[in-house]
Amino acid sequence: MTTICFINQKGGCGKTSSCLHSAGAFAALGQSVLLVDIDPQGSLGQGFFGPAAVESLASSQTVAALFDDDAFLSDPQHIIRPTGFEGIMIAPTNHHLAAFNQPSPEKTGMRQFVVRDFLEGLSGFDLVLIDCPPNLYACSWAAMIAADYVVIPVPPEDFGIHGLPAVHQAIDQARTLNPGLRRLGHLVTRCDRRLVVHRNYEQTLRTAYRRMVLETVIPEANAFKIAVTARKPVEFFDPQSRAAELTRQLAQEILHRIADRTARRRAA
Ligand SMILES: Nc1ncnc2c1ncn2[C@@H]1O[C@H](COP(=O)(O)OP(=O)(O)OP(=O)(O)O)[C@@H](O)[C@H]1O
Ligand SMILES: [Mg+2]
């Protein structure tokens, strides 16, 4: 089982969309995927079930239960539910998690490890995708402690790129507790290559981070938004669309990168 967290302190850069739509593509490629929503906004679960259904979940039915010392979970796996799509399960969250998303994560004691411990108790999944909130607080930290890889979605614009040093600093800090954590790459999202500014920023990112930028670029495309309105990953909404095709390409690139890294580690 390989765990990837999608992280960036920039809001609206496409973290949740990357998780939701790539889950569809991974499932289409035969992977068994667990989505873990660790953002108190609860957007990932809402993408499948709608806002009302997710907001009405009790704390004990969500990821918040993992963080709550007072919650008695006879079996933490009970927070995992089907999405309705074959090969995709989800551990949803909602506002109950907000109380645990503290700004100084390294001071949260054993809570730093609750996601890692939860995942260690699971079997039967090939991939775990964790959707993080737009900050580097306790929830993103717990995700990095639990993960094998980080993907950093980045829109090719000023505000998207300027927060990146803080993200890399947080990854370096997390590696002191989780030395196995690796950067899978930056993912250029919401890109409109007709715009000179987007083309220039993409180039800036590739010059600065070289191979640490995934080759696949996710464009700004209505199909992603419409699919979510239909409560589906784009793969299941419109598999023939360019958006679905590029998301499959992304999923394949991620799987190749993981296979490549694993082979190199074994050879070393
Ligand atoms: N490639 C895309 N094309 C079109 N719209 C997109 C794309 N990616 C994301 N969006 C839209 O932009 C908005 C923000 O995207 P998303 O929720 O994925 O970002 P996020 O990084 O998870 O946000 P937050 O920081 O609030 O968690 C959503 O309305 C989503 O539908
Ligand atoms: Mg989000």
- Tell me the domain boundaries of the chain: 2-267
Token pair in block for residue 14: 């496409």
- Answer whether 256 contacts ligand 1 (Cβ < 6 A): no
Token pair in block for residue 6: 């999608």
Q: Averaged over 150-159, what is the pLDDT?
A: 90
pLDDT at 69: 82
pLDDT at 265: 86
Tell me how far the alpha carbon of residue 219 lies from the centroid of ligand 1, in angstroms: 11
**Mean model confidence pLDDT for the chain:** 95
- Answer whether 13 contacts ligand 1 (Cβ < 6 A): yes
Q: Which residues pair with 152 in a beta bridge?
A: 186
Tell me how far the alpha carbon of residue 252 lies from the centroid of ligand 1, in angstroms: 21
Q: Averaged over 204-219, what is the pLDDT?
A: 95
- Answer whether 46 contacts ligand 1 (Cβ < 6 A): no
Burial class from Cβ neighbours inside 10 Å (0-12, 13-18, 19+) for residue 139 reads buried
Q: Which range has the worst mean pLDDT, 107-116, 157-166, 175-184, 210-219?
A: 157-166
Model-wide pTM > 0.85: yes
Distance CA 197, CA 208 (A): 16
From 9, 17, 232, 234, give the residue whose CB has the most ligand 1 atoms within 8 Å, as the site to mutate.
Answer: 17
Domain 2-267 fold is: Rossmann fold (3.40.50)
- Answer whether 232 contacts ligand 1 (Cβ < 6 A): no
pLDDT at 57: 97
